[in-house]
Amino acid sequence: TASPVVLGVESSCDETGFGIVSDGVLLGQGLASSAAQHADFGGVVPEIAARAHLEAVVPTLRIALDDAGVELSDISHVAVTSGPGLATAVHVGLAAAKSIAWSLGAPLYGVHHLAGHAAADTLEHGPLPERSIVLIVSGGHTSILAIGDLVRDPIEHLGDTLDDAAGEAFDKVARLLGLGYPGGPAISRAAVDGDPTAYSFPRAMLRPKDAPYTFSFSGLKTAVARTVETLERAGEPVPVADIAASFEQAVVDVLVTKSLRAVRERALDTLVIVGGVAANARLRAVAQEKCEAAGITLRIPPPRLCTDNGAMIAAVGDLLVRSGAEPSGLRIAADPSAVL
């Protein structure tokens, strides 16, 4: 029988993504973003995101089909993000995916957005090892997971964040430094010229008595805010580059320390880092250096597959199809607060 040709649809936040995957290979993708429309608000406005998805679905699907060199009729299966995400945004992708699946008579699979982030790496580096530690760092999540077969085995949650997600911390600190949304890339750009040791911002949850895999970033954000306030009150200039670099270094230190700890304590040999924050150059460099020193294999997808996209959803769909999983069917509902 012919290989499945799986269309993935992603619309959980401000990215409209379509990707086409066959036998673990990314054939092509299309991506549209409404990020610029949210810039003035310092974060994603759900109604604006939903409207932008509605405008983008057809042209972005067209781009993905052209990029892959396939016709819509070549699609054999459809996978779509059913959650977690902004309900109004998820609904648009679900409606589009249902329409496509129904008109093609193709089976439809609901995909967890975070499983998508993890699967993104397989498009670059091939199947995941039998077991690995996965650090998911995005705008909504910061989790350390122990993962086996992505679609068959239960996922083990080692730890999450108590408050802000890492990406959320980047976005909030960018806002208070006047750098705009999305904050991650903005902080990263500002930090290039900064001294990461200029300010010693707190590294939370790293004491021996703290939960080993639990994160907290709200204290860090508050520490940056206090630093900026103090400088402004004293009428001194705010060294944005130094603050951005020092903040970024604090986040990276905690993420890398805890992830490597999980790999070591589970006696595994592979760390996978995924999600929007995995696009961060300092995180990639520090993780690479620390993993090399510890003899740990580090897998991070290229930046364009770290941030939200449709290819990662197609990658999960492709794994589901090939594992013989039951389709979700056309009645699938959005699950905005889905847990993995």
Residues that bind ligand KG4 (CB under 6 A): 13, 138-140, 167-168, 170-171, 182-185, 188, 275-277, 279-280, 307-308
Binding residue per annotation — 138? yes
Binding residue per annotation — 308? yes
Shortest distance in whole angstroms from residue 208 CB to ligand KG4: 28
Q: Pick one of Zn ion, ligand KG4, none as the site partner of residue 184 (Cβ within 5 to 8 A by kind).
A: ligand KG4
Binder of Zn ion out of 168, 171, 253, 308 (CB under 5 A): 308
User: Judged by CB, which is closer to Zn ion: 253, or 308?
Assistant: 308
Q: Which one of the spans 27-35, 37-45, 138-146, 250-258 is the region binding Zn ion (CB under 5 A)?
A: 138-146
Shortest distance in whole angstroms from residue 85 CB to Zn ion: 8
138 binds Zn ion (CB under 5 A): yes
User: Judged by CB, which is closer to ligand KG4: 42, or 159?
Assistant: 42
Shortest distance in whole angstroms from residue 275 CB to Zn ion: 6
Shortest distance in whole angstroms from residue 88 CB to Zn ion: 16
Binding residue per annotation — 140? yes
User: Judged by CB, which is closer to Zn ion: 138, or 249?
Assistant: 138
Shortest distance in whole angstroms from residue 138 CB to Zn ion: 4
Contact criterion met (CB below 8 Å) for 194 and 241:
yes
Binding residue per annotation — 90? no
Q: Site residues (CB under 5 A) for Zn ion?
A: 138, 308
Pick out the residues of the known binding site for substrate: 136-140, 171, 184, 280
